[in-house]
Structure 1
Amino acid sequence: MGGVAAAAALLVVAGCGSPPDGGGGGASRAPAPAASSAAPGTVRVAGVLTRDLRSPWGLVELPGGDLLVSSRDERTITRVDASTGRKTPLGEVPGVVPGGEGGLLGLALRDGWVYAYLTSATDNRIVRMRYGGGAGDRLGAPEPVLTGIPKGVIHNGGRIAFGPDGMLYAGTGETGRRELAQDRGSLGGKILRLTPEGRPAPGNPFPGSPVYSYGHRNVQGLAWDPAGRLWASEFGQDTWDELNLIEPGRNYGWPVVEGRAGRAGFTDPVAEWRPAEASPSGIAFARGAVWMAALRGERLWRIPLAGAERSGEPEAFLTGEYGRLRTVLATAGGTRLWLVTSETDTRGTPGPGDDKILRLEVG
């Protein structure tokens, strides 16, 4: 386990098309021995919290520290004890129609509600379900929050999170229909900003619209730094994956540009990678850096930041050790990360115990 300079991440490699959502990857995975503590700017695996998850996708932390994890293909939400790893099924979410990259995707929590981004028979949508959070509690019936997000076999986006402003943000995909990303009348290929009830949030850049930013291909990672800046990870096509600093009303380029272009009217990413080394999904902010889970790249990227700029080159950790990585979540204290593997999503090579939630300590 160790870092590699971002020069490797940014190196021009022979161009071949990447499978949708970062396919492939069958590297052998032998867990690295745990160190006594994480050195500054590094990460160590402190243990495996739980095993034998099936197509895990979304992950949220309950107020007491336990976790909720969604299964994309099984349509279920499971509670995981953060101390013992014991799994308690909370039930199947009605109306989920898995297929391709769609199914039961991201999760968020607020005021006794569990929010879920899911693929239905007709669209992608956000619903919410009552959940008391106590032992034996089960999920209530889903209530629609936002419907009509385009769905497809690929590029369904799916990450949702509440921002420091109390608003609900959602990353969506353009479902393979590239033109949707530049169409501000479409919910596809966007980052959306909503009230908890699903209305366009006050102060959005386009009055009466939930669209917060556009020109995205497939956003699956959302995280805020301590200053309240929003960061998002995005799948590229064949050339560049991206980490973007999101500002309201900005156009992030797809499909006109991919990666850094320096063109007027488009916002360049803060960092970029070849898809073979990234194909990023979830991100989290901890210890002055964005931590980014990579699917096809089978590694955890650390991108150090100073305000709105990179303060150093990205570094990669855990390369090939645990396979495809889907979701990374920072705990409230910011010294620990939860990391979800994604080997049972039909594109991985599952090994014994896959999929897992790993407990990481960051320095």
Structure 2
Amino acid sequence: MTRIGTRIRTKRSATGPLAVLGSLLLLTACSTDEAVTTGTGEGTEGGSTSLGEPSDLVTELEVPWGIDFLPDGSALIAQRDSAEVALVDREGERSEAGTVEGVSPRGEGGLLGLAVDPDFPENPHVYVYYTAASDNRVARVDYDEDTGRLGEAEVILDGVPAASTHNGGRIAFGPDGHLYVATGDAQDREAAQDTGSLAGKILRITTDGEAAPGNPFDDLVYTYGHRNVQGLAWDDEENLYAIEFGQDTLDEVNLIEPGNNYGWPVVEGPGGGDEYTDPLLTWEPSEASPSGAAVAGDSLWVAALRGQRLWEVPLTGGGTVGEPRDHLVGEYGRLRTVVATPEGDGLWVTTSNRDSRGTPAEGDDRVLGVPLE
């Protein structure tokens, strides 16, 4: 069951052939009668979105996780279990950009988030979040646009607690140019409430790994009280939404505001009292277990693992949301990551059927191109 919540603003002083890439690059546009509307929910707010027919863009990947686009329209795809980064160019050709050294895949850990420097190519760097032997880290990796190869990596943040599960892992540059890093509680529930720990947090850092100016605790921490955030996305009003795995009761979509406490492990979902910030929206884990998120059109799109679907959450302005609708239900198995194309007219969605919890089909894992009609 889906629940739309009331936000409480509180703070503590103690956030197939590849056919898409540029007009969904290599996907031919579907005519009106070819469009597939796969939503099953009844939205009470926000407009309905039709999806074009999904198409395989890339296949035979090893648990694709982080994706980001370069200015020339090509894309870099991080693969969790192999620690390799695939490059897909504008013509749909795939090559290997290189392997990130120091990655120690285990359980839900490995090579996770990936983000391209917003000032690329002036700053020719790619940032990755990965699980090492002892901790989770963020590294800045040189990237040669001419050769399409990764170069030297420099760790800019280490000491993020790691475990076989609850590693977080999503990284993304915000409108302010700073890097936001989502971490999990690494199976240490109480650490999420400790602002002196990097576990169970959203961090906000500079490209050198320092605390970004204006952080609420004068350190790396932006928000706390998180269990396992794996989705970060901003809307046109620069509101930040974070997607969070619940435990047994409720998964969450949260509106992120600096310094706020999002409740874990004291509360899962709404109702913790004025000390904690209620989620905007919750799902039962069986219909979500959400991971990646993206904003395209007037909606927030959320990829669901256990729920095996793509959720569309209408954005109704001012950091509020309407009733969500689900798409692609059960069609492609577990869905991990969703990103908007550079033109905003479609989505890239990854499967996660080779992550030891899914049932791989021929060609898995894959990146799907999904046009927005």
Q: Would the TM-score normalized by the shorter structure come out above 0.5?
A: yes
2:142 aligns to what?
Answer: 130
Question: Residue 172 of structure 1 is aligned with which of 173, 183, 192?
Answer: 183
Per-residue deviation, 1:311: 4.5
In structure 2, the residue matched to 1:343 is 353
- Match among 227, 239, 249 for residue 217 of structure 1: 227
Query: 1:233 corresponds to which residue?
Result: 243
AA at the equivalent of 1:215: G
Query: Following the alignment from structure 2 to structure 1, what is the Cα–Cα distance between the partners of residues 111 and 306?
Result: 21
The CA distance in 2 between the partners of 1:132 and 1:332, in whole Å, is 21
Deviation sequence 1:39-69 (CA, Å, 0-9, x none) = 7523233421111111111111111111111
What is the aligned counterpart of 1:70 among 78, 98, 101?
78
Per-residue Cα deviation, 1:267-322 (whole angstroms, up to 9, x for no partner): 01111000000001000001111000000000000000112344421000000000
Q: For residues 64 and 219 of structure 1, what CA distance do their matches in structure 2 show?
A: 30
Deviation at 1:129, TM superposition (A): 0.8
Contact 1:283–1:290 (8 Å) recurs in 2: yes
- Please, which moves more after superposition, 40-49 or 270-279? 40-49
- Mapped to 2, the partners of 1:236 and 1:42 lie a distance apart of 29
Supply the distance in 1 between the matched residues of 2:319 and 2:258 (Cα, whole angstroms): 18
Query: What is the identity, as a one-letter code, of the residue corresponding to 1:130?
Result: D
Aligned length: 331
Q: 1:90 is matched with which residue: 97, 104, 107?
A: 97
Name the residue aligned to 1:200. Answer: 211
Equivalent residue, structure 1, for 2:9: none
Q: Identify the residue that residue 161 of structure 1 maps to in structure 2.
A: 172
The residue identity in structure 2 corresponding to 1:241 is D
Q: 1:347 to 1:46 in 2, by over 3 A?
A: closer
Q: Does 1:9 align with 2:9?
A: no
1:317-332 map, 5 Å: 317-332=327-342
Of 87, 100, 106 in structure 2, the residue corresponding to residue 99 of structure 1 is: 106
- Matched residue SS, 1:205: coil
- How far has the Cα of 1:92 moved from its partner? 1.3
Q: Does 1:288 align with 2:295?
A: no
Distance in 2 of aligned mates of 1:55 and 1:311:
30
Indicate the residue corresponding to 2:10 in structure 1. none
- The equivalent residue for 1:61 is 69
Measured on the aligned residues, the alpha-carbon RMSD in Å equals: 1.5
Query: Displacement, 1:362?
Result: 1.9
Task: Tell me if the contact between 1:62 and 1:133 (Cα under 8 Å) persists in the aligned partners.
Answer: no
The amino acid of 1:254's aligned partner reads: W
Please state how far the C-alpha of 1:37 moved relative to its aligned partner.
Answer: 4.0
| Residue number in structure 2 paired with 1:269 | 279
Amino acid at match of 1:152: A
* Cα contact 1:251–1:267 (8 A) shared by 2: yes
| Rounded Cα–Cα distance in structure 1 between residues aligned with 2:108 and 2:36 | 34
Q: Percent identity?
A: 53
Matched, 1:186 2:178: no
Cα distance in structure 1, aligned partners of 2:53 and 2:262: 34
1:38 deviates by 6.5
- Provide Cα deviations, 1:220-242, integer angstroms capped at 9, x if missing partner: 00010011111110000000000
Q: Give the deviation of 1:36 after TM superposition.
A: 2.9
Structure 2 spans left out of the alignment, 5+ residues:
5-29, 38-47, 118-122
Shift in Å at residue 333 of structure 1?
Answer: 1.9
The Cα of 1:137 is off from its aligned counterpart by 3.1
Give yes or no for contact 1:54–1:355 (8 Å, CA) kept in 2.
yes
Indicate the residue corresponding to 2:130 in structure 1: 118
- Distance apart, 1:132 and its partner CA: 2.2
